[in-house]
Amino acid sequence: MNVVLDTSVLVAAFTEDAHSLQAEAWLDRDAPFLVSDWAAAEFSAAIRTKVRQGYLKVELVPEVEAIFDSWTRDQGGKYPVQASDHVSARLLVVRHDRLRAPDALHLAIALRLNAAIATFDRCLQQASLAEGMPAFAP
């Protein structure tokens, strides 16, 4: 089964954080990983937040972006967000009152692609399971 990667997994895999070892080990597996354009946008924002918070040096941002882009190309590229994903995300937020809109969009994409989701976010894991889709915490 394909696995959609949530931004929490991507950030942990390509920068240093508390989940980096788990995320790196997860991505070393031979599995078909999917990365959405939305996850890529969130990834770029998250690494810049790490710079502002002092967890990543600004001069490393281009290198991290290049490594991420190369890895996603090797995985088959990024999957586009469709207009229907936004509609589905809203419905997911309504059904799962603790689910944040950005995470609902990840889940909507995973549901459309009939893919499992890998995330460190417990609310997203629970919503995915409630929707009948496997969720993994790497």
Q: Are residues 127 and 96 in contact, defined by beta-carbon separation less than 8 angstroms?
A: yes
**1-138: CATH superfamily:** 5'-nuclease (3.40.50.1010)
Locate the domains of the chain by residue range.
Answer: 1-138
Give me the pLDDT at residue 35, please. 96
CA distance 6 to 39: 6
Residue-wise pLDDT tens digits, 18-72? 999 999 998 888 788 999 999 999 999 999 999 999 999 999 999 999 999 999 9
Task: Give the three-state DSSP class for 35.
Answer: strand
Residue 91 Cα to chain centre, angstroms: 20
Q: Which amino acid is at 49?
A: T
Distinct helix (H) and strand (E) counts, the chain: 7, 5
Is residue 135 within a helix (H) or strand (E), and if so which, with residue range?
A: strand 135-136
| Mean per-residue pLDDT over the chain, rounded | 95
For the entire predicted model, the pTM comes to: 0.93
